[in-house]
Structure 1
């Protein structure tokens, strides 16, 4: 199979779909890889590293989209990109379609076969291609929350961990999944007063077991969210409903009751955000203020640490890329129910129910879509 990797064009996105190591694995397996020039510079890998691994370097992204049978990316295709996708071309990347009807329509019109990293599942019921970026984003969330508490960033002027004689900052983490757990690890390490809220009692038991008395675990209700958000100096939102819009746990009314200079870090912004006042921002302009509360809603947080993020992502995605390349998309989807769960758009049809419901679009069963391939 001919696999193509364009350079990412989203604002301040420096990750790349394949590392040189991944390229070598694909080439060793008998496949061809074409890489847009300078695509790997953000992770410190030049064109020569990719040539040595066996890739062909091309000068324009348009050549990637015109030649490749499968396009491997990191972020969702921008308008300029999805307009270049072809019928039956495989797109393997993060999509986050539910809050993005424009992208959804573009993918449908292209009639491509779009597999989303974030809805691929595992035998354990986890999201293995989302997990590494959730780990990165969760850890970053605490870092950026701590930074934006500083007065020069319009925060309260507090140190996250406090000092002897001065109480630490209070961090409320909404959601105890992968991102929330990693946010808690860093917040605890920095000495903050940490509370994790979740509706899964088994998850709360697990978190209580691993963190012990270092973090509070609280069952998430409307009342408990209100209580802990109002009292928090930093609120980290990590709630996730796979493939669907994130629930709006922090309303405008609740926001108005928060401390002046408090910080919200909305890790769930790729799925629409978990506060009513969240809107996507970039690394170039990461924050804005509503009701004296600092909002950090960067939609590609792991792009700020592209070297760590790209290698972590490739560790998870490479087996699936190889499976698709070795077997072809139809056989790979038929053989692996977990990869099949990643199929979102196929030949003009929405095949992921949560996306169809979020956008009131017609939905066809994934097995019917695969049968037509």
Structure 2
């Protein structure tokens, strides 16, 4: 199969969809890989490394997109919609529930779009979302600590405090992968940490492993309000797989928050779990409303691209190889990839996306059968 690796063009997106190691695995299986020149530069991976792995370096995005399987990191931007067509398989993060224009573009093109974030293993885990959730969770606390500094618009609170002075109060909304990793760093820095979640089992797990180093609270309206109003830093870590995140912090709550408090909404990719969230970029990462600093960068892990690129490829490589070897047939054989299928042949195949836009959803195997027969 012809595999294309275009350079990411989203603001400060320095990750890359394939490492030279994955390219080598593809070329050894007889596949041809077209790598746009400079695609790996943001992660300090040179064209020479890709060439040594067997790739063909091509000068333009048009050349890299002229393939059957396109492997990326982030969803296509409007400038890339023109590359979408019926005969390509797009394998990347999509986050369609918060991006109606991309949904429309994919449906119109007839392309096959598989979202990393919805590929789901038999045990219910999301193996391709997990590595970036781990990175984003750990980063969220680091970023929050930075923006709590007065020079960055925050309250001027040190995360760990000092003897005789209270440490920062951190509220983490969601105890999944993002929330757990955010808590790990926050506890390590000496902050007072509260994690809220709707799963008693998850709260019990966190309580058991931290043994009093953090508090756990059931995520209901009363507890959320109490935790948010007392917080110096609020981390939004809510996940509805493939769907839009619910608003747990409303606009009405902001005036009652501490002045100079910081919100880091990791759920921004899925619309955000804070009503006042709007996507920002690494070039202009924050804004202030009601005296509260909002950090809502939609591709946080690109700030540490080398770590993120290798962490992502460890998980994606096996699926990339199967898609290259078998094409659409891989989707029929691999249940995890079926969950990952969001759009195919002009039809939505992921329920949460269809529900968000009140559109029809077709079962993945039914949609695939239409094209393969």
Q: Which bracket does the TM-score occupy, shorter chain normalised? A: over 0.9
Cα distance in structure 2, aligned partners of 1:88 and 1:173: 43
Cα distance in structure 2, aligned partners of 1:37 and 1:306: 17
Which residue pairs with 1:320 in the alignment? 319
Cα distance in structure 1, aligned partners of 2:181 and 2:29: 35
Which residue pairs with 2:32 in the alignment? 32
Which residue pairs with 2:336 in the alignment? 338
In structure 1, the residue corresponding to 2:211 is in which secondary structure? Answer: helix
Contact 1:87–1:112 (Cα < 8 Å) also in 2: yes
TM-score under structure 2 length normalisation: 0.98
Cα root mean square deviation, aligned: 0.7
Deviation at 1:348, TM superposition (A): 0.9
Quick check: 1:188 aligned with 2:197?
no
Which residue pairs with 2:249 in the alignment? 250
Which residue pairs with 2:42 in the alignment? 42
Deviation at 1:311, TM superposition (A): 0.2
Deviation at 1:167, TM superposition (A): 0.8
Cα distance in structure 2, aligned partners of 1:161 and 1:124: 37
TM-score under structure 1 length normalisation: 0.98
Question: 1:23-102 to 2 correspondence within 5 Å?
Answer: 23-66=23-66, 68-102=67-101
Alignment deviations for residues 249-305 of structure 1 (CA, whole Å, 9 cap, x no partner): 000111121000000000000000001100000011100000000000000000100
Cα distance in structure 1, aligned partners of 2:112 and 2:59: 25
Which residue pairs with 2:150 in the alignment? 151
In structure 1, the residue corresponding to 2:193 is in which secondary structure? Answer: strand
Cα distance in structure 2, aligned partners of 1:51 and 1:219: 52
Cα distance in structure 2, aligned partners of 1:43 and 1:119: 25
Deviation at 1:82, TM superposition (A): 2.1
Deviation at 1:362, TM superposition (A): 2.0
Q: Alignment length, in residue pairs?
A: 371
Cα distance in structure 1, aligned partners of 2:213 and 2:32: 50
Deviation at 1:88, TM superposition (A): 2.4
Which residue pairs with 1:113 in the alignment? 112
Which residue pairs with 2:297 in the alignment? 298
Question: 1:151-230 to 2 correspondence within 5 Å?
Answer: 151-230=150-229
Which residue pairs with 2:283 in the alignment? 284
Cα distance in structure 2, aligned partners of 1:28 and 1:217: 49
Cα distance in structure 2, aligned partners of 1:236 and 1:196: 10
In structure 2, the residue corresponding to 1:196 is in which secondary structure? Answer: strand
Contact 1:88–1:347 (Cα < 8 Å) also in 2: no
Runs of 4+ deviating beyond 6 Å: none
The runs of 5 or more residues in structure 1 that have no matched partner are none
Quick check: 1:264 aligned with 2:271?
no
Cα distance in structure 2, aligned partners of 1:361 and 1:102: 14
Cα distance in structure 2, aligned partners of 1:210 and 1:318: 32
Cα distance in structure 2, aligned partners of 1:88 and 1:182: 39
Deviation at 1:36, TM superposition (A): 0.2
Cα distance in structure 2, aligned partners of 1:197 and 1:136: 20
Contact 1:198–1:218 (Cα < 8 Å) also in 2: yes
Quick check: 1:124 aligned with 2:123?
yes
Contact 1:150–1:159 (Cα < 8 Å) also in 2: yes
Deviation at 1:123, TM superposition (A): 2.1
Which residue pairs with 2:364 in the alignment? 366
Alignment deviations for residues 290-333 of structure 1 (CA, whole Å, 9 cap, x no partner): 0000000000000100000000000000000011111222x211
Of 339, 351, 354 in structure 2, the residue corresponding to residue 353 of structure 1 is: 351
